Amino acid sequence: MILIWGMKKEFGILIFLGITCNLIAQEYETIQIGDQVWMAKNLDIDSSGSRCYKDLLQNCKDFGRLYNWEAAITICPQGFRLPTDEEWTILTGESGGSDIAGRNLLTRGKSGFKALPGGNYNDLLYVFSYLYINGYYWTSTSFNETTAWMRQFDVNKTNINRSTVKKHYYFSVRCIKE
């Protein structure tokens, strides 16, 4: 039995807060923006409630995995967690405000945050969409029982969109240091 991130490993399977995960211990590059410390890349931990865009492993390597909200709120490794809506708002403010923060936080931006246009997956319609165009990121903040707050980056725009969406969608996860 090996403990990784406070989890028990038996027979190559890790149990992470009730989600079965096949994990490899990894270190994560971080970036500090203002007083916040964020992972510098999208999360790529295989778990139930996650998918690679179009189920291609190369897309997970390039963009990170997509997670439904239930998986997203528990998947960040020890020492990190899914950021709140307020923490995304602070990041947006530190990056120039909602009108230009998208440009500053995208891969080509100067912040080092490197938001990626990893698209999304709608599991009710079984449709993947917007790879290379939009990056969608979960927050840990529920709006109500079926929706949660999220952020959307569009490679053709400079702003960051803040809105609510149904929790069954699969979006990227960027963890923040606790």
The pLDDT-based confidence of 71 (bands split at 50, 70, 90) is very high
Of 132, 108, 106, the closest CA to residue 119 belongs to 132
Burial class (CB in 10 A: 0-12, 13-18, 19+), 122: middle
Higher pLDDT, 16 or 85: 85
Q: Is the pLDDT of residue 35 over 70?
A: yes
Confidence band of 31 (pLDDT split at 50, 70, 90):
very high
- The mean per-residue pLDDT over the stretch 48-59 comes to 98
Which tokens is 115 given? Answer: 């938001």
Share of the chain above pLDDT 90, in %: 80
Average pLDDT, the chain: 87
144: Cα within 13 Å, side-chain hemisphere: 5
Distance CA 53, CA 65 (A): 7
Question: What confidence tens digit (pLDDT) does each residue in 155-170 have?
Answer: 999 999 999 999 999 9
Q: How confident is the model at residue 27 (pLDDT cuts 50, 70, 90)?
A: confident
What local confidence, expressed as pLDDT, does residue 111 receive? Answer: 84
